[in-house]
Amino acid sequence: MIFASCRNPTVISLISALIVYALASCASTPGRDRALEPVMATAFCPDGKTMAVSTDASEVALFDVSPLRFRSLLTREGAKRKPSVANLLRSPPLACSPNSRLVVAAGVGGEIVGWEVDSGSVRFRAPVEAGVVGLAFLADGQSFVTVGPAARRWSAENGSALGEFKVPGNATATSVAVSPDGGVVLVGLSSGEIVEFDTLDGRVLRVLKGHSAPVTGIAFSPDGPAFASTAGRFDPRIWNRADSSPLPRRLAEIGGMGESLGKAERDTQALVFFTWILGTARGFQIVGAPTMGAPPVLSPMLEQAAHEPAPYCGLGVAYSPDGRFLAATANLPLVSGEFHLMLTDMARNEGRVISGIYGCSVTFTRDSRFAVTGGFGAPQFWNVETGARVDGGKTSE
């Protein structure tokens, strides 16, 4: 009976989370005597020198990027929130303004808070409803959008509410992205759909259907003609922004991921799962491409990967600033760990599996040399060429 219970993905996730918290006592934060709580979300400022992080205790801090070093704690010292079981592996979403002068986080003590990057002083505070899971700035930096459960627009000057993007139906908003030209806001929904809004007037341009679980991550390609989305425990797809037709390359056919997997995971479950990713259109999927059937089933976890919501944090997806790499996180309780990073080199037609990451978020350094995930006390940097973890984030080398 114990063995049967431990094969339940939710039970395994809870056990893994508790183990992670036990190990967090060994954490350290470079440049700080006392470690931050586990870092769950990161945001790079466009200046390439500064990054903001949030922890699962609702701390928000600034780091210098190269080398990685703690700069300042933006939230009040000691004003931590003890995470409950329901809030394990979650932290306030945050973003840096396009001019790198403002960091905004949502859900800090029930508020949206904006801090000046240079001084660390608070520019504004505004009450916000519970359950905000995403935040993105508009291209002009004058406003930003939060999602969860509604999709709302706010002033970046004073934090005042500017309006709402009306989500159709009864679904809630679960993720957000803004196009590079600023003309379109994409909002992922709990229904698995993605709504495309006109930024200026807030009207719905179209509703895209592709996922069957809540859409937790959306990212535009840097040049704008495509975007990626992800849902469930692992269900990344790529879309043609113009007409939803197939793109020239099927990411499901990217090679090299099997070799990487051999180094990261010898477990049979993982081998079958990632073989399925490479051999079908259910992993990295292009809209309009044929679906080649369900994965080989060795356990219910594999069959439900694209349909079952992640039990804690929402999975993320990100393009590197140079457009060469696409990263997506996976939440699968395997022998090699709970969380995994799928890193795709689109220029070389290669894929790589990195196991043992922490949390659901992923982003890239501004020079596109490192993928960045959460970590104990500080973010983790991963070399995009080798997949190796890099201590210190020395991006200038």
CATH number of residue 215's parent domain: 2.130.10.10
Is 396 within a domain? Answer: no
pLDDT tens digits for 294-309?
A: 444 444 554 567 888 8
Structural domains counted in the chain = 1
Confidence of residue 368 (pLDDT cuts 50, 70, 90): very high
Q: What is the pLDDT of residue 73?
A: 97
* Cα–Cα distance list, 351 to 260, 278, 302, 380 (Å): 8, 9, 20, 20
Residue 101 lies in a domain: yes
Q: What is the largest CA-CA distance in the chain?
A: 57
What are residue 303's phi and psi, to 5 degrees? -65, -30
Q: pLDDT tens, 46-64?
A: 999 999 999 999 999 999 9
Hey, what are 168's tokens?
């159709």
Query: Taking residues 245-249, what's their average pLDDT?
Result: 38
Distance CA(315)–CA(234), nearest Å, equals 8
Buried b (16+ CB within 10 A) or exposed e, 160-177: eeeeebebeeebbbbbbb
Q: What pTM was computed for the model?
A: 0.82
Q: 301 versus 321: which is more confidently predicted?
A: 321
Cβ 218 vs Cβ 241: under 8 Å: no
Domain membership of residue 397 (yes or no) is no
Expressed as residue numbers, the domain containing 302 is 2-390
Question: For position 44, what pLDDT does the model report?
Answer: 95
168 within domain boundaries: yes
- pLDDT score for 260: 42
- In the prediction, which pLDDT does 23 show? 54
The structure tokens listed for 63 are: 């780091």
Is 42 a domain residue? yes
Number of helices and strands in the chain (H, E):
5, 27
